[in-house]
Amino acid sequence: MKSESLRDAYGKELVKLGSKDADIVVLDADLSSSTKTGYFANAFPDRFFNMGISEQSMVTTAAGLALSGKKPFVSTFAIFLTRTYEQIRQSVCYNNAPVRFVVTHGGITVGEDGATHQIVEDVGIMSGLPNMNVIVPSDSIETRSVIDYLANVDKPHYVRLSREKFPVINDEDYEFRIGKSITMKDGTDLTIIADGVMVSKSMEAAEQLKKQGISARVINMPSIKPIDRDAIIRSARETGHIVTAEEHSVYNGLGSRVAEVVSESYPVPVRRIGMRDTFGKSGKAWELFSYFHMDVKDIINEAMTCLEEKNYENIP
């Protein structure tokens, strides 16, 4: 399976959007060569603002641009945006200023830079903000479609991208829809709901489970807020047990949101894969998944545990 960079897809799509829409402006905080907004800076220097290593200034300025009819895209590393939580809350979300935060280097796939740069709390932080939508794309194709969608939104959005290239898993004609999930693989025994890079890992797990005669449904849930409640409840009804997988803390991320939905509407056991109240660490990006028990084998283990529980429940 080929892999592609999500941030590179973002940077190039942004240039395409910029050539069609003169209201698109881009702000970065001295990381444009890493976030790939540098492409836009080269193409449209008058509409690119490098705010320096001053994230609070960047976010409040973006709010002012958005409130004046511009369409600001704001990029830095995920970790550094969260230092401006309160500017995002007050100046962006409370004003309902349609600022598009597209951050890169989310999660543990930052790799060697280590714990200081591997944020695994951001999805939870952003999801708690009124007016904010939160999206975690799974590959480059989905990223491009999300960026196109952002051109004409009327409220704040947070999009989390990665440093590493991710396997390309979506079809070329894929079209992102806010609040909607994609069933990547149908199944009847259990459902795996994932976002980001964990979607491809879940598909791999489902292939291996199939060899053992287990039918796992795999759902790609890029829209964390609003979340696709219908798809979650349907899976709970149709397959029972759910496994969630995210490159994020199990607190306040995808797993928590799924558990909330089933608890309110159709309770089934939900087993969550993700970071368990811990910081990341230095290492090769792809080694870290095994280290933190978030790899394909761990998804398979959770799925097997689900089925054991299910069989136990079925004993007359």
Burial class (CB in 10 A: 0-12, 13-18, 19+), 82: middle
Contact window for another protein (CB under 8 A) among 61-69, 166-174, 181-189, 244-252: 61-69
Site string for another protein, 82-111 (x = CB under 8 A): ----xx-xxx--xx----------------
114 counts as binding another protein under rule CB under 8 A: no
What's the CA dihedral at 195, 199, 205, 209 to 10 degrees?
90
Number of residues that bind another protein (CB under 8 A): 29
CB of 95 to another protein, least distance (A): 5
Binding to another protein by CB under 8 A, coded x per residue (else -) over 21-60, reads ----x--------------------xx-x-xx-x-xx-xx
Within positions 253 to 312, which residues make up the interface with another protein, using CB under 8 A? none
CB of 72 to another protein, least distance (A): 8
Half-sphere exposure (CA, 13 Å, Cβ side) for 211? 6
When the beta carbons of 89 and 293 are compared against another protein, the nearer one is 89
Residues in the chain: 316
Closest separation in Å from C-beta 63 to another protein: 5
Q: Which is nearer to another protein, 94 or 291 (CB)?
A: 94
The pair of structure tokens assigned to 92 is 């962006």
- Which one, 90 or 212, has the nearer CB to another protein? 90
Residue among 69, 171, 211, 213 that touches another protein (CB under 8 A): 69
Give the bridge partners for 4, in sequence order.
166
Exactly one of 67, 153, 233, 304 binds another protein (CB under 8 A); which one? Answer: 67
Q: Contact with another protein (CB under 8 A): which of 6, 14, 26, 65? A: 65
Q: Which is nearer to another protein, 87 or 244 (CB)?
A: 87
User: Could you list the residues that contact another protein (CB under 8 A)?
Assistant: 25, 46-47, 49, 51-52, 54, 56-57, 59-70, 72, 86-87, 89-91, 94-95
